[in-house]
């Protein structure tokens, strides 16, 4: 079920990127809408998890805090429709730079533990960082930055779909 969900989300990412690339003027509004909805849904999901299970767990309040923060960031993102596009693109650049940095750190950790998937994670992180840098270079030209972001989104979707088709290993304890 998880693999199917990953494939479907990857296909939606490609569809969203195609919409953004086809019309950069509306792509800006589409990015805001998708980010706001995604953050709000993730916040509600995290809050639901807290109220059903995590409040009885050790460090369960962490789930509550993350849910509230995600919900707040979703509301903030949704309210950025009247803000100049420069600030929203800076917001997206920060998200991609952070994601790339985290992916690179995860790849280094996976490499130190002997995992075979570290190269793919490292490549994904480097491409996220390069995409953020290119967006910084072209931040005054919103259409080019939206185009670059759309291409990066397509790349992320392809990686997500390819990871869904990858075989997993099961460890059996005897």
Over residues 89-125, the pLDDT tens digits come to 777 788 888 988 999 999 999 888 888 778 888 988 8
Instruction: Work out the average pLDDT over 46-69.
Output: 88
Rounded CA separation 69/26 (Å): 27
Whether 146 shows a pLDDT value over 80: the answer reads no
Domain limits, the chain: 2-164
Mean residue pLDDT of the chain comes to 83
Residue 82 has pLDDT above 70, yes or no: yes
* Band of residue 79 on the pLDDT scale cut at 50, 70, 90: confident
């Amino acid at each position: 079920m998880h693999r199917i969900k990953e494939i479907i989300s990857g296909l939606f990412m490609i569809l969203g990127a195609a919409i953004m690339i086809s019309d950069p003027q509306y792509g800006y509004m589409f990015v805001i809408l998708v980010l706001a909805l995604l953050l709000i849904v993730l916040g509600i999901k995290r809050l639901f998890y807290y109220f059903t299970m995590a409040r009885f767990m050790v460090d369960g309040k962490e789930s509550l805090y993350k849910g509230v923060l995600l919900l707040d960031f979703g509301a903030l993102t949704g309210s950025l429709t009247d803000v100049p596009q420069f600030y929203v693109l800076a917001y997206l650049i920060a998200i991609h730079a952070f994601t790339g940095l985290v992916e690179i750190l995860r790849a280094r950790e996976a490499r130190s533990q002997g995992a075979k998937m570290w190269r793919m994670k490292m490549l994904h992180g480097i491409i996220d960082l390069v995409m953020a840098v290119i967006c910084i270079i072209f931040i005054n030209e919103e259409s080019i930055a939206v185009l670059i972001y759309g291409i990066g989104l397509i790349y992320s979707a392809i990686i997500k779909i390819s990871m869904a088709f990858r075989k997993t290993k099961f460890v059996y304890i005897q």
